[in-house]
């Protein structure tokens, strides 16, 4: 049993070579978000603070540190698309992470695919895309209620596109897509590793 843990209070600093928080809460799915401005300008950016938060209706969300292009677009139009980032498109995904005011589809040589229910395009080559409508835009606060420069977008998935090659016997096979997951360091990504199954205990 460990008796002497490394303890720190985040407001006072972690006392390590690198902040461990991102490495501890990892790996995380990548929120590769495409959106359009009200004027129709395309934006595509990856977010490491991303996940699924509800089944029915399906709600996904991501958080942006700073009011960035994706947040501004979604606040204007209330629509976005999540695109599954895979090992095959890792370099393209990385090329969309600069934060520059450019068309990331063009920068990363990604073919846009039309969506059915929302205006923002989907990422060609991605095996799964979720078309979403905004449900909540939340400015985050600290525990005292002071607002911080971080914004959480929650959206309802209203349309799902799945490459049939990802299905086996009517079941989505997660590992077939080779999704990439965000790690802790500035350049750390993972692919899913060992898989095991557990059933919930019955009451």
- Within 13 Å and on the Cβ side, how many CA atoms surround 174? 9
pLDDT score of 33 more than 80: yes
Give pLDDT, residue 98. 87
SS percent in the chain: helix, strand, coil, step 5 = 20, 35, 45
Find tokens 């095996």 and name the residue: 127
Check residues 200 and 105 and name the one with the higher pLDDT. Answer: 105
Cα-Cα-Cα-Cα dihedral sign, residues 153, 188, 22, 196: positive
The answer to whether the CB of 49 falls within 8 A of the CB of 32 is: no
Q: pLDDT by residue (tens digit) across 126-184?
A: 999 999 999 999 999 999 999 999 999 999 999 999 999 999 999 999 999 999 998 87
Q: Which of 32, 54, 60 is nearest to 44 (CA)?
A: 32
- pLDDT number for residue 186: 65
Task: Tell me the β-bridge partners of 35.
Answer: 43
Q: Output the pTM of the full model.
A: 0.92
In whole angstroms, what is the distance from residue 14 CA to residue 194 CA? 31
pLDDT of residue 71: 98
Q: What is the pLDDT of residues 50-98, one digit of tens each?
A: 999 999 999 999 999 999 999 999 999 999 999 999 999 999 999 999 8
């Amino acid at each position: 049993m460990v008796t002497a843990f490394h303890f720190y209070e985040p407001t006072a600093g972690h006392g390590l070579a690198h902040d461990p928080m991102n490495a501890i809460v990892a790996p995380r799915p990548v929120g590769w978000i495409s959106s359009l401005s009200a004027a129709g300008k395309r934006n595509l950016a990856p977010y490491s603070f991303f996940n699924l938060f509800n089944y029915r209706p399906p709600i996904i969300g991501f958080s942006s540190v700073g009011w960035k292009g994706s947040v501004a677009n979604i606040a204007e139009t209330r629509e976005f698309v999540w695109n599954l980032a895979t090992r095959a498109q890792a370099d393209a995904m990385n090329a969309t992470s600069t934060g520059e005011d450019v068309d990331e589809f063009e920068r990363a040589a990604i073919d846009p695919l039309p969506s059915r229910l929302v205006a923002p395009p989907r990422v060609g080559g991605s095996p799964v895309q979720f078309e979403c409508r905004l449900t909540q835009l939340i400015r985050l606060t600290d525990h005292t209620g002071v607002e911080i420069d971080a914004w959480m977008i929650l959206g309802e998935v209203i349309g799902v596109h799945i490459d049939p090659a990802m299905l086996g016997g009517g079941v989505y096979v997660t590992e077939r897509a080779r999704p990439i997951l965000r790690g802790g360091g500035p350049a750390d990504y993972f692919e899913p590793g060992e898989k095991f199954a557990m059933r919930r205990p019955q009451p």
